[in-house]
Structure 1
Amino acid sequence: MRLLGFNIPFENAKAAREALPQIPEIDHNYQAIALEKEDTKRPFPRLWILLLLLLAFLGVIGIWRLLYRPSIVLADHRFLPCCIKDIAAIPKGRFSYTANENGVWNYAIRQRNLVEKGKTLEEELQQRIPQMKLVYKPQPTTEKTLAKVRNQEVDFAITSLIQDLDRDLNAIPFAYDGLAVFVAFSYQRRQNSLPHNLNGQISIKQLRQLYTGEINNWKQLGGPDLPVQLYIPTDAEAIRIFEERVLQTERAIDQFRRLWQSSPSDNFITTETNVNRIRQIPTFQAMRRVLQDFEEREIGSLSFGPLSQVFQQCSVYPLAIAEGLRPAVQPLSQHNNQPITPATDLCNDKGSYHPSVEKFQTGQYPLAYSLAVVYSFDNSLSPVGQKFAEIMKTEEAQNLLIKTGLVPLQNLNPNP
Structure 2
Amino acid sequence: MHLSDPYSQEYRCSRTAPLRCDQPQKTLQDYKGARFCMECGFPTTLSPQREIKGRRGTYQVKHYLGARGWGRLYAGMRLSDAQPVVIKEYLLPNRCFNAEEARQRQETFVRIAGLSPADGRIQDFRLIQTLEAIADPRDERCYLITQQKDTALTLTHYLATYGAMNASQVRDVLNQTLQTLQFIHSQKFRRPSGQIDKGIAHGNLNLESVLFLADSAQFYVYLCDLAEWEFLFNPGFTSIPSQPAQDLVALGQLAINLWTGQSSNLTPESSLEQFNHHPLATEDLHLKSFLLRLLRVEAPFESAEAARQTLLQLPTGEQNSSHIADLAPEVPEHTTKKIGLTLLGLLAIFLLGGGLWYALKPKPSPSYPNVTYNELLKDFAGVSGLEPNRVTYISEQNGTWNFVLRYPLPGGTLQERLNKPQPNVEAYFDYQGIHSETNPSRNEAQSALFQAVEDGQAAFAITSLTNNLPEALEAIPIAYDGLLVFIPPNDTAQNLPEALNGQISLTDLRRLYTGEITNWQELGGRDLPVSLRIPTEPEAIHQFQTLVLNNDAGAIAQFRQRVEPQATVDTLRQMRDEFDANRSGIVSFSILSKIWDQCSGYPLAIRKEKGTAVQPLVQANGTPIQTTTDLCDKPSPQLDVQVFSSERYPLGYPLVVVYPKDNRRSAAGRKFAELLQTQQGQCLLHNVGLVPRQPVPEDCRP
> Is TM > 0.5 for Structure 1 vs Structure 2?
yes
1:217 corresponds, among 513, 516, 519, to: 519
Residue 74 of structure 1: CA displacement?
A: 7.4
Alignment of 1:335-354 (within 5 A): 335-349=620-634, 351-354=635-638
Residue 335 of structure 1: CA displacement?
A: 2.0
Q: Corresponding residue for 1:26? A: none
Q: Corresponding residue for 2:568? A: 283
CA deviation profile, 1:283-339 (whole Å, cap 9, x unmatched): 222222233334337240110011121111011111000001211000001122110
Residue 204 of structure 1: CA displacement?
A: 0.3
Structure 1 pair 14–75 and aligned structure 2 pair: CA distance change class (3 A): closer
The amino acid across from 1:104 in the alignment is: T
Alignment of 1:93-132 (within 5 A): 93-111=389-407, 113=408, 115-116=409-410, 119-126=412-419, 128-130=421-423, 131-132=426-427
Q: Secondary structure at the match of 1:176?
A: strand
Q: Corresponding residue for 2:614? A: 329
Cα distance in 2 between the residues matched to 1:359 and 1:14 = 40
The amino acid across from 2:410 in the alignment is: E
Identity of aligned residues (%): 40
Residue 82 of structure 1: CA displacement?
A: 1.2
Residue 191 of structure 1: CA displacement?
A: 6.0
Structure 1 pair 14–398 and aligned structure 2 pair: CA distance change class (3 A): closer
Residue 359 of structure 1: CA displacement?
A: 0.5
The amino acid across from 1:379 in the alignment is: N
Cα distance in 2 between the residues matched to 1:168 and 1:14 = 48
Q: Corresponding residue for 2:538? A: 236
Q: TM-score, normalised by structure 2?
A: 0.45
Alignment of 1:402 with 2:686, yes or no, is yes
Cα distance in 2 between the residues matched to 1:190 and 1:13 = 66
Alignment of 1:301 with 2:586, yes or no, is yes
Q: Corresponding residue for 1:165? A: 469
Q: Corresponding residue for 1:389? A: 673
Contact 2:460 2:660 in 1 (8 A): yes
Q: Secondary structure at the match of 1:146?
A: helix
Residue 341 of structure 1: CA displacement?
A: 0.7
2:383 corresponds, among 76, 82, 87, to: 87
Structure 1 pair 218–127 and aligned structure 2 pair: CA distance change class (3 A): same
Structure 1 pair 381–297 and aligned structure 2 pair: CA distance change class (3 A): same
Contact 2:418 2:429 in 1 (8 A): no
Alignment of 1:138 with 2:399, yes or no, is no
Q: Secondary structure at the match of 1:328?
A: coil
Residue 376 of structure 1: CA displacement?
A: 0.9
Alignment of 1:183 with 2:487, yes or no, is yes
Q: How many residues align?
A: 334
Structure 1 pair 15–104 and aligned structure 2 pair: CA distance change class (3 A): closer
Q: Corresponding residue for 2:640? A: 356
- Where structure 1 has 5 or more consecutive residues not aligned to the other structure, the ranges are 1-9, 17-57, 260-276
Q: Secondary structure at the match of 2:533?
A: strand
Residue 87 of structure 1: CA displacement?
A: 0.5
Q: Corresponding residue for 2:240? A: none
Misfit runs of 4+, over 4 Å:
13-16
Contact 2:420 2:427 in 1 (8 A): no
Cα distance in 2 between the residues matched to 1:154 and 1:15 = 59
Q: Secondary structure at the match of 2:686?
A: helix
1:256 corresponds, among 542, 559, 566, to: 559
Cα distance in 2 between the residues matched to 1:247 and 1:220 = 20
Q: Secondary structure at the match of 1:293?
A: helix
Structure 1 pair 318–241 and aligned structure 2 pair: CA distance change class (3 A): same
Alignment of 1:313-324 (within 5 A): 313-324=598-609
Cα distance in 1 between the residues matched to 2:455 and 2:419 = 26
Q: Corresponding residue for 1:411? A: 695
The amino acid across from 1:278 in the alignment is: V
Residue 75 of structure 1: CA displacement?
A: 5.3
**Greater Cα shift, 95-104 or 234-243:** 234-243
Structure 1 pair 127–15 and aligned structure 2 pair: CA distance change class (3 A): closer
Structure 1 pair 154–225 and aligned structure 2 pair: CA distance change class (3 A): same
CA deviation profile, 1:240-260 (whole Å, cap 9, x unmatched): 111111111332222212x2x
1:369 corresponds, among 627, 645, 653, to: 653
Residue 116 of structure 1: CA displacement?
A: 2.9
Q: Secondary structure at the match of 1:205?
A: helix
Q: Corresponding residue for 2:314? A: none
Cα distance in 1 between the residues matched to 2:493 and 2:649 = 27
Q: Secondary structure at the match of 2:657?
A: strand
Q: Secondary structure at the match of 2:548?
A: helix
Q: Corresponding residue for 1:207? A: 509
Contact 1:217 1:225 in 2 (8 A): yes
Structure 1 pair 310–404 and aligned structure 2 pair: CA distance change class (3 A): same
The Cα RMSD (Å) is 2.5
CA deviation profile, 1:354-397 (whole Å, cap 9, x unmatched): 00010010011110111110011111111000000000000101
Q: Secondary structure at the match of 2:545?
A: helix
The amino acid across from 1:110 in the alignment is: R
CA deviation profile, 1:107-144 (whole Å, cap 9, x unmatched): 01123x2x238x31111223543422121111013321
Q: Secondary structure at the match of 2:430?
A: strand
Contact 1:183 1:318 in 2 (8 A): yes
CA deviation profile, 1:77-126 (whole Å, cap 9, x unmatched): 45421111110111111100100000000001123x2x238x31111223
Cα distance in 2 between the residues matched to 1:106 and 1:235 = 11
CA deviation profile, 1:220-274 (whole Å, cap 9, x unmatched): 00011111111111111111111111111332222212x2xxxxxxxxxxxxxxx
Q: Corresponding residue for 2:528? A: 226
Contact 1:357 1:410 in 2 (8 A): yes
Residue 352 of structure 1: CA displacement?
A: 4.0
Structure 1 pair 379–190 and aligned structure 2 pair: CA distance change class (3 A): farther
Q: Corresponding residue for 1:267? A: none
Q: Secondary structure at the match of 2:581?
A: helix
Q: Corresponding residue for 1:19? A: none
The amino acid across from 2:367 in the alignment is: V
Q: Secondary structure at the match of 1:137?
A: strand
Contact 2:493 2:582 in 1 (8 A): no
The amino acid across from 1:82 in the alignment is: K
Q: Corresponding residue for 1:28? A: none
